[in-house]
């Protein structure tokens, strides 16, 4: 019996005994079924789609409500469990997605993807509600003028999740929500079409608009950013407003593409102050704060919105007193864009975790949000059950791990959250062996369809909370993974399996007098500027627009020649050492995603990728690596007889390789004093 989602949200309540008795001859609206689960029926209180009867009852199970906070105490007697459930549910209206399946020739309707919403004080048993689409800048990334223009010219205005797309279900009007949640109604519409660009509405007469009072929505229920369920009486009042003298015709708007862009930026962004900080790559560098990027140069930049985000990220980092160069911060941002896993390494206590939290804050994710999950790795972890959880077969339940990772991945995979960004931070990631507790992730993150298996599919029907924790979770692009590591005697080193899948960033702390300057600058910032700069919440669509995902290799011939020559040197030292095609593609993707005219030139970016993707794999004994790395001459503080250094000299035209040379010198010292490079 295949279940099919009807793809819409409806509003309902727990059916009462009288309704159940009349419809089915039963005397209970909720009962303990043969699977020892509470089964109940939902009565719709919202206007159904044209192809659904209003007389349908929807079957649901208490396991669907665990994610909403309801716990069924199995230790209680059956009649107490049923009473507790009914008392609990009578406080809520139920938003649900109807599913249909066939039992023989008869359709059966189920309720899934449940959301519980506290009943308004004005709720009455005979209250009925009508769903209305809601458009906004935050969700659809168009201004109200662009929205009007598209309505007037019968263009696609954007998608509305979980609203009926059937031709018979055209809403007579739609709402526009501004930043203060004031609503403007637009109508009337007689028909619509739906395509990739969302809804395209056609009107009966001239399009009209009308500002509506906020109190009209006091008795309404908001399901997500897209849909509001309005009480029938209020719905009709708004419809009448559009027919009254209070409504005005929407004027013709003739916008050129240039004006579109200008209006969008005026609506959504403050005018940022782009400060360019020149950084010397040596650890004793100082910041040069007096250079500015002229705002007029933004016209030539491929993606000005990304530069605005970078400016914001740097400002938030400085406000939090992070003592890292802007070059490091930009490198971290690029790595987050293009990597399945980003690893930050450096001395303990230098703020690696705070960089991740600051990045989340710049994206509009608060520190205590469920969308930023900080997982302290424990030394005792040996497999992924320590991280994700396990099946408790005795009690027929899935026990999610204390890390909250499973909960975050389930939340991120839900349809209504697909456009929201999630960051998973593994703190002190190498306290346990990454290849053990992170093994499944290392394979899954490389797949095109990232599907994580919590447990065997055959167990799904036997677990009470399988709805909350399904056997398989899809990990979409809205989830980013990052780890912090310390390199000392208490930690484990990375295998090539980990290094091949991650950008490993070594962070250098700036001179301590710069910390004082950063804190002084932070104190001088106006509080209004801080508040305003931190209000925008970036979506997956925003973040995806930062990316250049062109599939063709765009590395230059000289860069490819350097990488091939370096591969030859490494492979000659050890047949298992070298640069694989996967690394080439990842370096190319990084290089294509370096923001234009800001902080990093191409040569510096290429240098960083050699450090982060190649030199991390140069590990071994002095006997094996001496010819590649070279010999450290302590008298003159230099490396000599190094094939790697000789290769760098031949390719000085593509980069100065300052970072590479610095790491190469460090490895030569390790070979001299330890006999082994880590």
Dist CA 81 CA 79 (whole Å):
5
Q: Is the pLDDT of residue 140 over 50?
A: yes
Residue 661 has a CB neighbour count (10 Å cut-off) of: 18
Tens-digit pLDDT profile for residues 519-535: 555 554 443 444 444 45
Q: 463 or 674, which is more confident?
A: 463
Averaged pLDDT, 512-525:
56
- Determine the pLDDT at residue 198: 87
Dist CA 315 CA 485 (whole Å):
25
Tens-digit pLDDT profile for residues 107-128: 899 999 999 998 988 888 888 9
Tens-digit pLDDT profile for residues 262-285: 444 444 343 333 232 222 333 333
Q: 493 or 172, which is more confident?
A: 172
**CA-based angle 474:480:481, to the nearest 5?**
100
Q: 351 or 101, which is more confident?
A: 101
Which two structure tokens, joined as six digits, stand for 487? 């390199």
Q: Which residues contact 246 (CB under 8 A, 6 or more apart)?
A: 210
Q: Is the pTM of this model over 0.75?
A: no
Q: What's the chain's average pLDDT? A: 83
- Neighbour-count burial of 283, counting CB atoms closer than 10 A to its CB (0-12 exposed, 13-18 middle, 19+ buried): exposed
* Domains in the chain with CATH codes: 4-118 (2.40.50), 129-258 (no CATH), 324-509+527-545 (3.40.50.300), 557-677 (no CATH)
Which two structure tokens, joined as six digits, stand for 543? 């973040």
Most confident of 83-97, 310-324, 492-506: 83-97
Which two structure tokens, joined as six digits, stand for 199? 């809804």
Averaged pLDDT, 364-392:
88
What would the DSSP string read from start to end of 82-111? HHHHHHHHTTEEEEEEEEEEEETTEEEEEE
Q: Is the pLDDT of residue 506 over 90?
A: no
Dist CA 311 CA 362 (whole Å):
10
- Determine the pLDDT at residue 490: 55
- Determine the pLDDT at residue 511: 64
Q: 264 or 643, which is more confident?
A: 643
Which two structure tokens, joined as six digits, stand for 187? 């109508």
Q: 17 or 513, which is more confident?
A: 17
Long-range contacts of 568-576, Cβ-Cβ distance < 8 Å, separation of 24 or more:
569/628, 569/643, 569/644, 569/647, 570/617, 570/618, 570/628, 573/620, 573/624, 573/625, 573/627, 573/628, 574/620, 574/624, 576/496
Q: 137 or 511, which is more confident?
A: 137
Token pair 């902080």 in the structure block, residue: 599
Beta strand 631-633 pairing with 397-400? unpaired
- Determine the pLDDT at residue 281: 31
Q: How confident is the model at residue 514 (pLDDT cuts 50, 70, 90)?
A: low
Residue 14 has a CB neighbour count (10 Å cut-off) of: 21
Lowest mean pLDDT among 191-205, 450-464, 531-545: 531-545
* Whether 384 contacts 452, CB under 8 Å: no
Dist CA 317 CA 312 (whole Å):
9
Dist CA 668 CA 629 (whole Å):
6
Residue 427: C-alpha distances to residues 354, 355, 431, 483 (Å): 11, 12, 9, 6
- Determine the pLDDT at residue 598: 61
């Amino acid at each position: 019996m295949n279940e099919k989602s009807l793809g819409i949200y409806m509003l309902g309540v727990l059916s009462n005994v009288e309704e159940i008795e009349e419809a089915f001859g039963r005397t209970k609206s909720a009962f303990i079924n043969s699977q020892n689960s509470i089964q109940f029926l939902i009565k719709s209180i919202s206007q159904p789609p044209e192809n659904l009867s209003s007389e349908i009852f929807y079957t649901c199970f208490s396991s669907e409500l665990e994610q909403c906070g309801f716990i069924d105490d199995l230790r209680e007697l059956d009649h107490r469990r049923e009473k507790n459930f009914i008392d609990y549910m009578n406080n809520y209206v139920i938003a649900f997605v109807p599913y249909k399946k066939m039992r023989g020739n008869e359709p059966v309707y189920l309720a899934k993807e449940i959301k519980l919403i506290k009943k308004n004080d004005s709720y009455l048993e005979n209250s009925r509600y009508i769903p209305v689409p809601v458009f906004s800048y935050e969700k659809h990334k168009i201004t109200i003028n662009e929205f009007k223009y598209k309505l007037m010219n019968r263009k696609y205005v954007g998608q509305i999740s979980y609203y009926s797309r059937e031709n018979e279900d055209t809403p007579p009007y739609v709402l526009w929500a501004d930043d203060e949640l004031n609503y403007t109604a637009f109508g009337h519409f007689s028909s619509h079409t739906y395509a990739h660009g969302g809804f395209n509405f056609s009107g009966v007469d001239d399009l009209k608009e009308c500002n509506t009072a906020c109190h009209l929505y006091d008795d309404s229920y908001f399901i997500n950013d897209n849909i509001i369920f309005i009480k029938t009486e209020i719905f009709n009042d708004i419809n009448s407003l559009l027919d009254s003298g209070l409504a005005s015709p929407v004027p013709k708007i003739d916008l050129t593409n240039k004006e579109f862009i200008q209006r969008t930026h005026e609506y959504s962004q403050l005018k940022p102050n782009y400060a360019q900080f020149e950084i010397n790559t040596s650890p004793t560098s100082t910041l040069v704060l007096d250079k500015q990027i002229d705002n007029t140069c933004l016209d030539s930049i491929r993606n000005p919105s990304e530069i605005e985000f970078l400016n914001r990220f740097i400002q938030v980092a400085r406000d939090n007193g992070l003592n890292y160069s802007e070059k490091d911060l930009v490198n971290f941002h690029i790595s987050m864009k293009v990597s399945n896993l980003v690893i930050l390494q450096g001395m303990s206590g230098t703020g690696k975790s705070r960089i991740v939290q600051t990045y989340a804050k710049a994206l509009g994710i608060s520190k205590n949000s469920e969308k930023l999950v900080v997982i302290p790795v424990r030394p005792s972890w040996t497999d992924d059950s320590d991280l994700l959880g396990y099946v408790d077969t005795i009690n027929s339940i899935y026990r999610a791990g204390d890390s909250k990772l499973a909960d975050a991945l389930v939340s991120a995979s839900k349809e209504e959250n697909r456009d929201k960004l999630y960051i998973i931070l593994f703190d002190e990631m190498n306290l346990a062996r990454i290849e053990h507790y992170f093994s499944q992730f290392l394979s899954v993150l490389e797949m095109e369809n990232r599907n994580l298996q919590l447990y065997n599919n055959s167990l799904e029907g036997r677990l009470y909370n399988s709805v909350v924790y399904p056997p398989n979770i899809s990990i979409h692009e809205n989830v980013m993974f990052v780890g912090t590591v310390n390199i000392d005697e208490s930690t484990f080193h990375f295998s090539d399996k980990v290094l091949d899948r991650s950008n490993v960033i070594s962070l250098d702390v700036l001179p301590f007098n710069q910390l004082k300057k950063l804190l002084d600058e932070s104190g001088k910032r106006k509080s209004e500027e801080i508040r305003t700069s931190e209000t925008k919440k970036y979506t997956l669509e925003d973040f995806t627009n930062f990316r250049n995902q062109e599939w063709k290799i765009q590395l230059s011939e000289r860069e490819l020649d350097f990488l091939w020559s370096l591969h030859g040197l490494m492979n000659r030292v050890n047949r298992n050492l070298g640069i694989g095609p996967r690394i080439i593609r990842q370096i190319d993707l990084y290089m294509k995603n370096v923001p234009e005219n800001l902080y990093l030139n191409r040569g510096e970016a290429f240098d960083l990728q050699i450090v982060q993707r190649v030199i991390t794999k140069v590990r071994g004994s002095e006997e094996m690596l001496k010819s590649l790395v070279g010999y450290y001459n302590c008298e003159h503080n230099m490396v000599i007889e190094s094939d790697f250094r000789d290769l760098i000299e031949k390719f000085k035209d593509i980069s100065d390789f300052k970072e590479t040379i610095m790491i190469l010198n460090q490895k030569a010292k390790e070979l001299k004093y330890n006999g082994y490079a880590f």
